[in-house]
Chain A
Amino acid sequence: MMMFRYNFKYESILLFRSKWIQILIALLILLFGFATYNGQQKTQKRKADIEKVTAEIQVSDLNMLKLLDSVEQGLTVNARPWTIPNTPMAVGNYHPRVASKPPSELSFLATGQSDMFTHFVKPTVRGDDLALNFSEMTSPVQLLFGSFDVAFVIIFLLPLLIIAFSYDVLSSERESGSLRLLAAQPILLYKWLLQKLALRFFWVAIITIVALLLVFVANQVPVVDNFSTILTFLSVSLAYAFFWFALAFAVNLWAESSAKNAVALLGLWVVFVLLIPSILNQLGSTLYPIPSRGLMINEMRTIKAEATERQDEILDNYLRDHPEYAVNDTTQERSFWHSYMASQNLIKKKLEPVLSEYENQLQKQQQLLDRFTWLSPAILIQGSMNQLADNGSESYEGYRNQVISFAKEWRDHFLPMLYNNQAFSSGDYSKLPEFTYTPISGKSQSYVLLILLCSGLAVLGFGALRFYVSSAEKHSII
């Protein structure tokens, strides 16, 4: 215990004198600061966009009510005839609701898929689910390069900082000859190395936590309100750092010279952070290829062409299948919309098997990945950060599904009115369905923590193995 305290104190002083700690503090504050600032800017823009469009809808709703009022009073109104909101289809098409996915308060942590997908759509009764375009208008160059977010600093850069400051802990002592002196001390070599690395881990952990919290506060992140999420985020990040220190420990023991350590650790970094993710991704899309969208378009076109040709027949069949729709219809009037909506319904049914093929393949890819995520801590931690920020693929899939079912609700709301040839009145306004986004409840992060800690411990164990395998030539380490 004495020895431990002694080591701890003097190593810390050494780290301080060699400016190791100062460099780490400056770098991390700089990197986290830039990343958080960027992320917060994006989040603010996203919020402002949603607020703006919601305000626009409110204004347009007021106009609609005014128009309705005039129509109901029998006045002539100055608007294009097909947009006058006394018909259900006009309201369904020209007065849609905003289905938005507001950013979570910690959205800045990881950009995830948020730069690729849109955050609000306005489903109308016209068009099918395919017409809902969920991709955002961005320069593809931006998507290619990705974002400088907090997740990037932790996943890509933190391991490199750890490697830079721990690759030669043992070998530099050997190379400078002080290892032999050390061997004469009453401490086991692996314990001594473990202490040295534990100390570095301790400092990295403290500096990371303090730097992140400082940066968060400076960027007006509501830390207190999201305390538990931030806690999870910090523990996942530290578990990831722990894994890299464990690797440094093992490599320090197994390799011989500083140069070899560095190459080995960098090689491992390339493998874990760059190669395994891209190989897994490639494997997924090779094993379960997504069918060509071009061919899907062909199929969709043929189905639509058929439906247009047989429009009247489809409408008759449809009304026979859904007598409830036209039950109060006394006029028997038929407009473009009557047959359009009926054939849309048929097209949707026919397209379902085609579209589900895409979802199935994507799901299979995701399952394959889920089975192998433990192969790379980088994939694990990326997944959990995206989830904490509510910006991952699952979040957007959840949002898409919610919007699609809302679009159906929206259409279904107007269908009985259409087929009963009912007018839309101001009284119906308050009955319009509204959309609220509910974030999907994600996987528990304890599983990620567990895998990271276990793989870290396994790597530590593998490092310690060096002593048992070569106990006969133990001196060779020294």
Chain B
Amino acid sequence: MIRKTINKELKELFRDGRVRTSIFIVLLLLGVAVWISSRQYQQTNADYAAAKVSERAVWENQGEKNPHSAAHYGTYAFKPKYPLSLVDQGVDKYVGTSIFLEAHKRNEAEFSAATDQTGLARFGDLTPDFILLFIIPLLIVLLGNNAFTKERELGTYTLLKSAGAKGWKIVLGKWTALFLPVLIITVLLLILAGLVLSNLSDYGVFQWSSLTAMGVVFLVYYSVFTNLVLWVSYMAKRSGISLVISLSLWIIACLAAPKAASNIAEARHPYPTRQEFAANVLKDKDAGLDGHNPWSKEAKLLEEQVLTEYKVDSLQQLPFNFSAYLAQKGEEHEAEVYFKHYNYLKEQYDNQSGTYRSLALLSPFLPTRFLSMAIAQTDYATHWDFSDAAEKYRIATQAFLNNNTAQNTRYGERGYKASADFWQKLPQFEYEPPTLGQILENNRSNLNTLGLWTLFSFALLFFTTKKI
């Protein structure tokens, strides 16, 4: 009975011209999207590699220079693009790609792609994630809205009843028939993306396991939509009504809920403005040690401490240059200030995530969106991780430079220059993004919500449709 239902439904679907057209259009769009994204991905990575090499060359060829001048001169950390961004671009467009690492200051990533685009960019891009997240659920709505209502409208409902068909068998048959085309499209897309990625010369850390995890997330998301659409079709009296209701579900889940969530999250847990943030940082910085100001109260205090610790009576007798030591202590104080203020931002974002999580109960779109971009390493958390790694490297660089001055000069000595080959000794900035296991661990709540949606929607469908 189940197989017969599947056969009949699939035949019906594919005999319908509009179904064939819609599936064809979706496949075409997917193909174009993958092609465009893979071109962009290659271009971005080539630019990234070039920028990284060139920046390192600029750093290494500074010539003879005072280490602290070099610290002000600074260096850049560039953010690489990860292979699965081919499938889901996530928030990549809205975050900066380069961080300037200099003395005394933690800078934010600059130059996000969206600020370099026209206002149209806010409508979204033709990327695989757009099709996977928005268009395929819409396809499910279009294909499945009349699954049960048509039986009523054509009068075959009574025939089914008299044939003694069991409710769950019919439902399972219809479910499989609706899910199968979607399954095939998704698997095709992921295999295509996987092949494109493994054939790129510099495909970096691409792993089939991440791609598979992503595929599973999307398939679960589609199964939720399939359940809901079939349930609506079962409950509705006419195809028209069923269509309008499932469409409303799609609008709420995919369009309205994310926007409303973003507004509510922002209203409840706002970020400071850029200027406000800078002012707060400055205030805290001023309250502590300033490496450039040996006359301040805090600097005098440090001086006393060091003198008692080393049991000497003047700074000249110290085994290292106190000025450089002061500079390093100032640097550490500033790093702490930044740590505190960036942590506040993170807290705000954690609170915002809480809002998203609670609204995810209204929309299966939200957990899917977050999971998919997390797996693709294009989410906000990965960006935080990168910017924290860059900050860690910045702090280490400052210590490296200040120590050089402290070891090689005496107190009061001016005009010290480190040798031209010294700069090469600074280790390069390397960044390792979190692994799939860590990502899934961090996104446990999203996984739970999506799981809850799946259980709930399956239960809804199979318990209410016992009787056909």
Binding between chains A and B: yes
CB within 8 Å of B: which residues of A? Answer: 34, 38, 41-42, 45, 49, 52-53, 56, 80, 112-113, 116-122, 133-148, 152, 156-157, 160, 164, 167-168, 172, 258-260, 262-264, 266-267, 270, 274-275, 277-282, 284-286, 289-290, 292-295, 297-298, 301-302, 305, 308, 358, 362, 365-366, 369, 378-379, 382-383, 386, 392-393
Could you give, for residues 14-47 of chain B, a 1 whenever the CB lies within 8 Å of some chain A CB and a 0 otherwise?
0000100010000001000000100100011001
Cross-chain contact B124 with A369 (CB below 8 angstroms): no
What is the number of residues of chain B that contact chain A, defined by CB distance less than 8 Å?
Answer: 85
Q: CB distance A286 to B119 under 8 Å?
A: no
From A53, A119, A133, A284, B120 is in contact (CB under 8 Å) with A284
Q: How far is the CA of A134 from the CA of B258 in the complex (A)?
A: 26
Residue of A42, A118, A148 near B259 (CB, 8 A) is A148
Contacts of A147 in B (CB 8 A): 259, 262-263
Given contacts A116-B115, A136-B274, 7 further A-B contacts (CB under 8 A): A135-B112, A140-B112, A140-B383, A143-B94, A274-B130, A281-B124, A294-B97
Does more than half of chain B's interface fall in helix, strand or loop, or is it mixed? helix
Q: What are 12 of the A-B contact pairs (CB < 8 Å)?
A: A45-B270, A52-B276, A113-B122, A121-B275, A137-B271, A139-B271, A275-B29, A292-B44, A294-B76, A301-B55, A358-B116, A392-B119
Contacts of B356 in A (CB 8 A): 141
Cβ–Cβ contact B91 & A141, under 8 A? yes
Known contacts A135-B115, A259-B239, A277-B123; is A140 also within 8 Å of B380 by CB? Answer: yes
B118–A292 CB distance below 8 A: no
Given A113-B122, A137-B274, A157-B251, is A145 in contact with B239 using a C-beta cutoff of 8 Å? no
CB < 8 Å neighbour of A278 from B123, B142, B352? B123
The stretch from B240-248, B319-327, B412-420, B433-441 touching chain A is B240-248
| A157 partner residues in chain B, CB cutoff 8 A | 251, 255-256
- Chain A residue at minimal CB-CB distance from B349: A139
B78 interface contact, C-beta 8 A = yes
Please give me the residue from chain B that is nearest to A304 by CB atom. B73
Residues of A within 8 A of B239 (CB): 258-259
Complex contact A137–B273 (CB within 8 A):
yes
Chain B residues with CB under 8 Å of A301's CB are: 55, 58, 76
Residue in chain A with minimal CB distance to B52: A294
Q: Are A134 and B116 in contact (CB under 8 A)?
A: no
| Contact present for A263 and B18 (CB under 8 Å) | yes
Identity of the chain B residue whose Cβ is nearest the Cβ of A376 in the assembled complex: B123
Contacts of A295 in B (CB 8 A): 47, 50-51, 54
Tell me if B125 is interfacial: C-beta within 8 Å of chain A: yes
Closest-by-CB residue of A relative to B110 is A133
* Chain B residues engaging chain A, CB cutoff 8 angstroms: 18, 22, 29, 36, 39, 43-44, 47-48, 50-52, 54-55, 58, 62, 73, 76, 78, 90-91, 93-98, 108, 110-126, 130, 134-135, 138, 142, 146, 239-240, 243-244, 247, 251, 255-256, 258-263, 265-267, 270-277, 279, 293, 345, 348-349, 352, 356, 380, 383
Q: Of all chain A residues, which has the CB nearest B54?
A: A298
Nearest B residue (CB) for A119: B273
Question: Does A156 lie within 8 Å of B240, measured CB to CB?
Answer: no
Q: What residues of A have a CB within 8 angstroms of the CB of B39 in the complex?
A: 286
**What A residues does B78 contact at CB under 8 A?**
294
Instruction: Decide: B98 and A297 in contact? CB cutoff 8 A.
Output: yes
Q: Find chain A residues with CB under 8 A from B244 CB.
A: 164
Contact present for A278 and B130 (CB under 8 Å): yes
- Residues B95 and A294 in contact, CB atoms below 8 Å apart: no
**A379 and B47 contact, CB distance less than 8 A:** no
**Are A393 and B58 touching (Cβ within 8 A)?**
no
Bound-complex Cα distance A133 to B111 (A): 9
Quick one: closest B residue to A49, CB to CB?
B273
Cα–Cα distance between A359 and B422 once the two chains are bound (Å)? 39
Compute how far the CA of A52 lies from the CA of B275 in the bound complex, rounded to whole angstroms: 11
Q: How far is the CB of B258 from chain A (nearest CB, A)?
A: 4
Residues of B near A52 (CB, < 8 A) are 276
- Whether B116 contacts A290 by the Cβ 8 Å rule is yes
Contact of B262 among A49, A56, A141, A362 (CB under 8 A): A141
> Would B123 and A270 count as touching, CB distance under 8 A?
no
